[in-house]
Every structure is written in structure tokens, then in C-alpha cells.
A and B are shown apart, each in its own frame.
Chain A
Amino acid sequence: AQSVAQPEDQVNVAEGNPLTVKCTYSVSGNPYLFWYVQYPNRGLQFLLKYITGDNLVKGSYGFEAEFNKSQTSFHLKKPSALVSDSALYFCAVRAQGGKLIFGQGTELSVKP
């Protein structure tokens, strides 16, 4: 069965430091992977996706994600965190039939 796991409920970083939000997946066949962000009282916003091609995917707001097939991971990264990056981040994988399965979410907190 397809699934996605975000092992950290919360990630705390200082502004200006690099950040990583972890995601691992389980899927048969080639994975289609996505990252979304949710700000308080808002819907989800698309950040980036991996379908095929380069393992390093660049997305919105300076975020990027690294696809690692051997480790079945798709970690979200940003070289320098901003306080405004504080939000709830969701990793997702395309499951059979085309629906998206989301991880439990990781709360990112960036302190000044």
C-alpha cells in the first residue's frame, strides 16, 4: 500500500539557518511526490513536485527538495529560513488511481 511518513511533528530553526523537513514514502512503481504548505486558517499551497528528472527539485519561495530513490526519501530544504516560513508542511505521494496521500504534517517554527 502506498504511504508517506513525516517523522517529525515539529521542526525548530533559527532565522537564517538552513532547514530540512523530512519525508519518506512507500509506493510501488515510480513515485510522484509533492510538498504543500498550510498557513494558519488557510488551505494548502503547492510548493513543488517530483515526477521524473533531476533529483533536486526547485519550488516556490526558495524551497527545494531532494529525491533519493535508494532511501525512499523526499526531504524539503531551504538554505536560509525566514520567520515567515513558519507553517505546517505536508509531503504527499500519488497513490493508485491518482489520488494524493498526505503525510501527517510537520510544524515548522522559525524564530528570529
Chain B
Amino acid sequence: EADIYQTPRYLVIGTGKKITLECSQTMGHDKMYWYQQDPGMELHLIHYSYGVNSTEKGDLSSESTVSRIRTEHFPLTLESARPSHTSQYLCASSVPGQGNYGYTFGSGTRLTVV
């Protein structure tokens, strides 16, 4: 039973289009994260947030942007999609100060840019 929801699950879109990947969680977690997962399965942190109005870039440079206007919502936007953005995007959340409880992940959005 997922407490963190990502939509859409799959998306095929043309080059140059603007897209927003949605992520919402019902657990009241302050910390949220976006990971990009390449075909080799490795996870790369691209954005994170420690609370409302807080956003930071992750380890992997990304052309995407994020916003955090509400605790439960952490959308990721690509202003102009390119084939190099084709990947799986995973959203996660966690309770602050309780890292030993782990992250909760959404089911992911598989994006294909043609």
C-alpha cells in the first residue's frame, strides 16, 4: 500500500515539450527527494527538499526544476524535454531526524522523450 504517489506511471512525449511529474505523499514527511534512475539501474539524486519553500539541487546536475509549496506535494518540471531526459524518475520521502527508518519510495515515472 503506497503512501507516496507518482503520476503518470508512463509518459511518452515529444522533444521541446514542457512536462511536470507529480509526487504526493500522505505521511506528513518534511523531507522529499527526486532520483533519476539510469538504464544501468544506478540512482542519482537530482533534487531534494527539507520542507515547504526549501529546495536544493542534488549530486547530479539536472535541467529540471522543483517546487515545494505544500508539505505533501513535490512536483518536478522539465521546461523543454530532450531525448537525454529519457529515464525513470523516482520520488521518495522521509521523516526528519529519523534516518534509520529509511526512505519511502513512489512507484516511479518512466519518461520517454522522442
Q: Do A and B bind each other?
A: no
Interface residues of B (CB under 8 A from A): none
Interface residues of A (CB under 8 A from B): none
